[in-house]
Amino acid sequence: MGLVAARLGVTQAALFQRVGSKRALMRSALSPSWREARTIVRALEAAPPPRGVDTQAKEILSELGRFLAEVIPNLVVLRAAGPAMEQRGAPPEGVPPTVRFRAALARWLERAVSAGTIEPLDAEATAEALLGAIEARCFNAYLGGRSFAPGDDEAFVCRMVEAFIHPLLQGER
């Protein structure tokens, strides 16, 4: 709390008066992320039935990667500061953003299957694999620096889509 107060240029007492507790400060620090997560999930859920699946997948995964690259450092610091996030209280929606991302991405993949643009697949497992790869890349880059996640992030997303989505395309290649 002292470090946060010092970086803000206020006393610890002033910071406590403003936010009330460490828990409230953590919630406040993460709330912009939760709002952005809601926006990303809503956009993914509102996406039209997937056409140009590979292009849409690249856009979706790139956006998720940008979000996670900003959020993962906060989550690592918060986790190091105390108990697991689930013990700190649920996020506003009651479900962590990454769980919501996986579910929304799985539903998007299911819509692509229903639209006949990709072969049938296990949407939940595919969403887990895609998002997990992006999370791991962001986590490795944060902990080890860019040498732990070499190359361009956009190029990484393109390679993932080519590996996971291209083989499933039906008549869109």
> Alpha carbon of 165 to those of 64, 102, 117, 126: distances in Å?
17, 16, 10, 9
Residue at 2 is within a domain: no
Tokens read off for 132: 């997990």
Nearest to 63 by CA among 155, 140, 157, 162: 157
pLDDT-based confidence at 83, cuts 50/70/90? low
Domains in the chain, number: 1
The DSSP string of 31-90 is HHHHHHHHHHHHHHHHSPSPSSHHHHHHHHHHHHHHHHHHHHHHHHHHHHTSS-HHHH--
Orientation of helix 53-80 relative to helix 123-144, angle to 10°: 50
What percent of the chain has a predicted confidence (pLDDT) above 90?
33
Residue at 11 is within a domain: no
Q: Which domain holds residue 88?
A: 22-168
pLDDT-based confidence at 75, cuts 50/70/90? confident
Mean pLDDT, rounded, for 143-165: 93
Q: How far is CA 76 from the centre of its chain?
A: 14
Mean residue pLDDT of the chain comes to 82
CA distance from start to end of the chain: 54
Q: Which of 29-43, 48-62, 93-107 has the lowest mean pLDDT?
A: 29-43
Please answer whether residues 173 and 162 qualify as being in contact, where contact means their C-beta atoms are separated by less than 8 angstroms: no
Q: What is the CATH number of the domain that holds 77?
A: 1.10.357
Name the DSSP class of 143. H
pLDDT higher at 133 or 42 = 133
Please name the residues in contact with 154: beta carbons below 8 A apart, sequence gap of 6 or more.
58, 62
Residue at 4 is within a domain: no
Tokens read off for 60: 């979706």
Q: What span, in angstroms and rounded, lies between the C-alpha atoms of 134 and 53?
A: 18
Please name the residues in contact with 58: beta carbons below 8 A apart, sequence gap of 6 or more.
154, 157, 158, 161
Residue at 39 is within a domain: yes
Place of tokens 């997303």: 157
pLDDT higher at 50 or 59 = 59
